[in-house]
């Protein structure tokens, strides 16, 4: 049985994809993992745009100028719907971006379990993305998530050296 921590350690930012199309049933499982993610006050303020047709991908690749991005056979754009996001009363903090991050993480982990790979992209051309997807003002594109079969690999033990030890990031008590 695969343990959650094994899946989390095997997830990595893939930067080289096989061109074969992601099967519909796997894509649906990745999207379903996002759908069932928790959100503030269970408002579920997200919308997913799936881009996988060749012509659409060719137009969309211009939103992120890295050559490796052009190898992704599928891209999911995760948007926060600010009409339906929970706002904290104390300071007005809009949790739409937080909820978009949670749902994205669920999708990345589901993809990993299915033998697929992703790369969380936040440094993209937001205005071009808005234009291509014809997004209304209340939908904020938060993450671009390429999805596909990896042609590169990673070392699942990399966390031993590339992550801070618990002693640096955990405090107990008040």
Residue pLDDT, tens place only, 106-136: 999 999 999 999 999 999 999 999 999 999 9
- Confidence grade of residue 163 (pLDDT, cut at 50, 70, 90): confident
b/e per residue 130-164 (b: at least 16 CB within 10 A): bebbebeeebbbbbbbbbbbbeeeeeeeeeeeeee
Bridge-partner residues for 78, per DSSP?
48, 143
- Confidence grade of residue 1 (pLDDT, cut at 50, 70, 90): low
- Mean pLDDT on 87-108: 98
- Predicted confidence (pLDDT) at residue 57 exceeds the cutoff of 80: yes
Spans of all domains in the chain: 11-152
Lowest-confidence segment of 2-6, 35-39, 146-150 by average pLDDT:
2-6
- Mean pLDDT on 92-98: 98
Compute the mean pLDDT over every residue in the chain, rounded to the nearest whole number.
96
Percent of the chain with pLDDT over 70: 99
3-state secondary structure 62-131: HHCCCHHHHHCCEEEEEEEECCCCCECCCCCCECHHHHHHHHHHHHHHHHHHCCCEECCECCCCHHHHHH
User: Does the domain formed by 11-152 have CATH 3.20.20.70?
Assistant: no
pTM of the model as a whole: 0.94
- Which uninterrupted H or E stretch holds 34? helix 24-35
């Amino acid at each position: 049985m695969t343990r959650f921590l094994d899946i989390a350690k095997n997830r990595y930012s893939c930067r080289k994809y096989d061109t074969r199309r992601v099967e519909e049933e796997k894509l649906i499982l990745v999207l379903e993992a996002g759908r069932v993610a928790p959100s503030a006050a269970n408002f579920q303020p997200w919308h997913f745009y799936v881009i996988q047709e060749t012509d659409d991908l060719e137009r969309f690749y211009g939103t992120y100028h890295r050559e490796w991005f052009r190898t992704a056979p599928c891209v999911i754009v995760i948007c926060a719907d600010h009409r339906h996001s929970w706002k904290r009363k104390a300071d007005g903090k809009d949790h739409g971006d937080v909820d978009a991050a949670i749902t994205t993480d669920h999708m990345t982990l589901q993809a990993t379990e299915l033998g697929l790979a992703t790369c969380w992209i936040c440094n993209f051309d937001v205005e071009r993305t808005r234009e291509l997807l014809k997004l209304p003002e209340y939908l904020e594109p938060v993450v671009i998530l390429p999805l596909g079969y990896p042609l590169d690999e990673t070392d699942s033990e990399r966390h031993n050296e590339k992550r801070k030890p618990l002693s640096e990031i955990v405090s107990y008590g008040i």
